[in-house]
Structure 1
Amino acid sequence: MHKGQQTRAIILDAALGLASHMGLEGLSIGALAEVTGMSKSGVFAHFGSREELQIAVVAEYHGKFEEEVFFASIRDPRGLPRLRALFERWVRRVSVEIDSGCLYISGAVEFDDRPGPVRDALVSMVKAWQSALRKAIVLALEEGHLLPDADVEQILFELHGLILSLHHDARFLRNPGALARAGQGFERMLNQYATDAGRQADRKALAKPAAARR
């Protein structure tokens, strides 16, 4: 890796850590210079503005999220096994972020009513993730793992709702039962929408050793 790219990666990693605890609005060239031990001009050379820095952090977060949740799950069989894998890895990601926070969620709170490039970047990346999740639901439908009249958008909405509730109860309320309730919500949803073939495929996938499903 080129030295300039290496320095930029170090700055981005530090910026992501700051944003996770202080939000995107807590980011500044000055704060980042202090954390990295660099000069303000040194940081500024890699990110010409605070806005550019915020957008780069959003993109970095999205890349890590894709790697840990989406790309790791597409190795699972299409249908309910893949949909479960996506949800379980998403939940695992949230459980790790209980102390640091989810940039998608905190960013939505910070920028929900503030038009501009940072909001556009957040919206674009959340929509990209929702599109991937929607595709997994459609594939489950095509595999015959979901009832023919299952509403794809409703399932997507309910899955997202479970994650938002989990984040709120686990991070804000510190409710120790939040993870279990999210899991129960997912199982209840499967009971409502899954076919017998879907349940069979799901059970077969669950019978694999836990290490193979990580």
Structure 2
Amino acid sequence: MPLHAREHRAVGPHRAGTRRGGPDRRRIRLYGLAVVVVCAVVLPFAVASAGPSGDDTDGETAVTVPLLARGGDGKASAVPAAEGTAPTRPPLPPGPALAARCGPELTSPAGVEAQTCVLARGSETWARTYYRNATGGPLETVLSLMGPGGRSVRMSCAVSAEDAPGTCETPPGDTGGASRGGLAGYSAVAEFARRAGYGPLLLRAGSGADGASKHPAETGS
């Protein structure tokens, strides 16, 4: 009997050790699974928060936002196109720098505000006018882009009676890289009237330094 008791005592600790080892291995496996799950959740967020390297903005230069394209707090804001106007171009993709030359913001006694610009990027050049119509009635504007050799492009846009900023622009044309110092050969002018070609001219706003504008309603021209 004592021999059997000693054998029982000798076997007992071995079995107890086996029981202790089982839960430890399960805990290790659980910890390993937890680490894998945490890595699977955290790593995608870390990669997303890193974002692009910034190469997409190479060659992009800031262009002064025309006065009429700014909100009341002086910050740049989106300029919605008035109903019936030519569709505005989508945001410019990364690429060659955008060049712009804008005339001053002008206001007519009738309540029309406008600012006209010549824009160029890569091989494309076009004209755009920013306006606000506070006359209380619908207007029409004719925007013209003049280039070297007597070339010109015209676009007619309807201006709604809403007192809100709007835009009108000509289709972009291939000018062989006017943005590389060739803007001096281009000019743009926007003319606002009750009916284009029929009513009195309310405002003429150009891209030149002086706006290339007079108020014909005052001069009778």
Q: TM-score range by the shorter chain?
A: under 0.3
As a proportion of its length, which structure holds more helix? 1
> TM-score, normalising length from structure 2?
0.27
Q: Which of these two proteins has the greater Rg computed from alpha carbons?
A: 2
Identify which of structures 1 and 2 has the higher relative contact order when contacts are C-alpha pairs closer than 8 Å and 6+ apart. 1
As a proportion of its length, which structure holds more strand? 2
